[in-house]
Chains A and B, each alone.
Chain A
Amino acid sequence: MKLSSTEMGDVMILEPKGKIMGGPDATLLHDQLHDFIDRGKKKVVIDLAKVDWMNSTGLGILISGLTTLRNNGGELKLANVTEKIQSLLTITKLITVFECFDSLDEAVASFK
């Protein structure tokens, strides 16, 4: 997995690419999310457009980021959720936990 980040106003955007399956990749995403939190950034969007799939470790990282942000008055939202990840979110019922948007712009706009 490769990971890049950008900012749109006060919204932090993370763009992982590839597969999120645990091991070193998962640590990278986890550390980046928690770096935002440590810096007081409370609005985060993860753009999943280029993520082929993730497993339960990836879902655990998303939940960790979401709960930590919410506990600090922030929010984590998902954009461009691919079909495979949508399916995983549905079977694990995490679709009821995350706010998902069809585009990055919509996700960013939802913070305003």
Chain B
Amino acid sequence: MKTAVKMRPSFKDSSGRAKSVRTKRKNTSREVGYCGQIIIPSSLDYLPKVDEYVERKLRKLGVDKDKLADIAISVTEAATNAVMHGNKNDLKKKVAINLKVDSSCVEITVEDEGNGFDPEAVQNPTEEKNILKQVGRGIFILKSLMDKVDFIIQPQKGTIVKMTKFLS
């Protein structure tokens, strides 16, 4: 939450419009881990950029292929929700993806500027009545693939999805 408060003003330029894709490297020393972020406008067109950033960093840090795929899928799920349901595709709003890696785990937060939602209200997509629905599997999938998922809802300020994958 501390990171989100610090970061949010940088989402927009002086005219109030969302800035384009931006990555920020905070630390690249493998001995003490990695910490960085990518910020995108609220458009699914930027999903491949997010995936490219996350996969490139995790591959470089030696995260194994299977775990890397689980993390990459989960990040695209959270980012899709942030763009579509959080920011409602409003290009003036941004989505920030923060990546933190140390020897024991990968921790990712995906932050939007929307009005939040109730994660408990999301229907189970594996129930018979939902099985053929085209949407509604994102949260279920990221909860299945990641070891720990927390939703930090801040009405009028945005939602933070915090996901952790243990590496050992």
Contacts and interface: CB of A to CB of B under 8 A. Distances in A.
A92 B143 CA distance: 12
B126 A92 contact: yes
B131 A97 contact: yes
Interface stretch (B24-32, B72-80, B157-165): B72-80
A60 B51 contact: no
Interface string A19-61: 1011111100000000000000000000000001111110111
Contacts of A8: none
B141 interface: yes
Given A22-B76, A53-B69, A53-B73, A88 B45 contact: no
Contact of A55 (B43, B46, B80, B136): B80
Given A21-B51, A23-B44, A52 B69 contact: yes
Interface residues of B, number: 27
A93 B131 contact: yes
A55 B125 CA distance: 14
B156 to A, nearest CB: 27
A52 B55 CA distance: 12
A2 interface: no
B132 A67 contact: yes
Majority SS at the chain A contact face: helix
A94 interface: yes
Interface in B84-139: 125-126, 131-138
Contact of A23 (B48, B72, B131, B140): B48
Contact of A60 (B44, B69, B134): B134
Interface of B: 43-48, 51, 66, 69, 72-73, 76-77, 80, 125-126, 131-138, 140-141, 144
